[in-house]
Amino acid sequence: MEASHVAAPAVRLGRMESPGEDEIATPSDSITTGPPVFQVSDLSVTYGTHLALADVTMSIRSKAVTAFIGPSGCGKSTFIRCFNRMNDLIPTAQVGGTVLYHGEDLYGPKVDPVEVRKLIGMVFQKPNPFPKSIYDNVAFGPRVLRRKDGLDERVESALRRAALWDEVKDRLKTSAMSLSGGQQQRLCIARCLAVEPDVILMDEPASALDPISTTAIEDLMHELKTDYTIVIVTHNMQQAARVADMTAFFSVDVGEDGQRTGVLVEYDETQTIFTTPADPRTEGYVTGRFG
Ligand SMILES: Nc1ncnc2c1ncn2[C@@H]1O[C@H](COP(=O)(O)OP(=O)(O)OP(=O)(O)O)[C@@H](O)[C@H]1O
Ligand SMILES: [Mg+2]
């Protein structure tokens, strides 16, 4: 793997003043092993009048896997969509607070969300290959970005990094729809890697897959974190424990009016979250007593 692909973001997103150290949630000293990729401060998301997620403050570590866990409806997908401005595509969604990406305001007025999504790729729960050949799926991003030099090499490299090359190298021109679900998901990861992102967001990437494909995806995350920053949402706590360096536990607060709002309860090293969490709500969830 070539680390040079992902060293620094290729575009500047517009500079703003960084919050002070004490304003950012750094749950334990050990998180600060390098400058964070994202610094989220007082982030809230509303859909229409529904406050779906409130006051999240945390930072995301570089070249590590960070997992978001918590019960259904606590805002995990809502939150992960904030990191590449996917919520912009939901007309009723409004994002408040600050998300800094390498110190720059991701929601600044001069930032182009399309540029953002080139640097911060996303893989969804359900594999969503295009109805094209395996090759054309992976080549799609580089072609759109007019990076056509050495396209064959780019496609091969992305498929190799997604641990799919050996399974598809003799059938690159066949339809992606002929692949198994697990292969399709690795193809979607390859498609994401082909544009050389800095960050990969994955919203329950393995929840529709069988155990063998799930293991392949987990192994892949382990490999990829050498070069990429990875953020995943998972319902599978064993999976979080296996793959994540850091884990954030979200829960739902129910207001007097019955409104359900997601909150970040606790964020720490994965081992701490699963063995000695600070908050009884986290302990209840990870030991299966609620959620
Ligand atoms: N596009 C949307 N429009 C309106 N409300 C939404 C939208 N997406 C999510 N919500 C609401 O925001 C809240 C959080 O939803 P979200 O999908 O982020 O939760 P989640 O933690 O990902 O849940 P799950 O584990 O079931 O995937 C829910 O109350 C949900 O109904
Ligand atoms: Mg979700």
For the chain, list the domains and their CATH numbers. Answer: 3-286 (3.40.50.300)
Calpha distance 280→291 (Å, rounded): 13
Q: Which atom of ligand 1 is nearest to the CA of 92?
A: 3
Distance from residue 78's CA to the centre of ligand 1 (Å): 6
| pLDDT attached to residue 291 | 52
Kindly report, residue by residue over 28-48, the tens digit of the pLDDT.
444 445 689 999 999 999 999
Calpha distance 170→188 (Å, rounded): 18
Nearest to 28 by CA among 245, 201, 237: 245
Contacts for 211 with CB less than 8 Å, ≥ 6 apart: none
From the CB of residue 1, how many other CB atoms can be counted at a distance below 10 Å? 14
Indicate the pLDDT class of residue 290, thresholds 50, 70 and 90. low
Count CA atoms closer than 13 A to 286's CA, side-chain side: 26
Question: Rounded to 10 degrees, what is the CA torsion of 155, 161, 164, 167?
Answer: 80
Cβ contact 176:184 at 8 Å: yes
User: Does the C-beta of 92 come closer than 6 Å to ligand 1?
Assistant: yes
User: Does the C-beta of 203 come closer than 6 Å to ligand 1?
Assistant: no
Calpha distance 227→225 (Å, rounded): 5
| pLDDT attached to residue 122 | 93
Contacts for 287 with CB less than 8 Å, ≥ 6 apart: none
Calpha distance 209→183 (Å, rounded): 10
Pairing of strands 199-203, 120-123: parallel
Q: Whose CA is nearest to atom 2 of ligand 1?
A: 47
Kindly report, residue by residue over 228-265, the tens digit of the pLDDT.
999 999 998 999 999 999 999 999 999 999 999 999 99
Tokens of 146: 């007019």
Q: Whose CA is nearest to atom 8 of ligand 1?
A: 78
Nearest to 224 by CA among 151, 147, 160: 160
Helix, strand, coil percent content, the chain, rounded in steps of 5: 35, 25, 40
Calpha distance 56→265 (Å, rounded): 9
Calpha distance 10→13 (Å, rounded): 10
User: Does the C-beta of 96 come closer than 6 Å to ligand 1?
Assistant: no
Best residue for ligand 1 mutational test, from 44, 45, 77 (most atoms within 8 Å of Cβ): 77
| pLDDT above 70 (res 277) | yes
| pLDDT above 70 (res 17) | no
Kindly report, residue by residue over 116-159, the tens digit of the pLDDT.
988 999 999 899 999 999 999 999 999 988 888 899 999 999 99
Q: What's the mean pLDDT in 13-19?
A: 39
Indicate the pLDDT class of residue 2, thresholds 50, 70 and 90. very low
Nearest to 263 by CA among 248, 278, 250, 254: 250
Maximum CA extent, the chain:
60
Kindly report, residue by residue over 196-231, the tens digit of the pLDDT.
999 999 999 988 888 888 898 899 899 899 999 999
Calpha distance 253→268 (Å, rounded): 20
| pLDDT attached to residue 34 | 66
Question: Coil, strand, or helix at residue 241?
Answer: helix
CA distance to 133, 139, 232, 290, per residue, from 119 (Å): 24, 16, 16, 37
| pLDDT above 50 (res 271) | yes
The pTM score is: 0.87
Terminal-residue alpha carbon distance, the chain: 39
| pLDDT attached to residue 40 | 98
Distance from residue 70's CA to the centre of ligand 2 (Å): 10
Percent of the chain having pLDDT more than 70? 87
Pairing of strands 229-233, 65-69: parallel
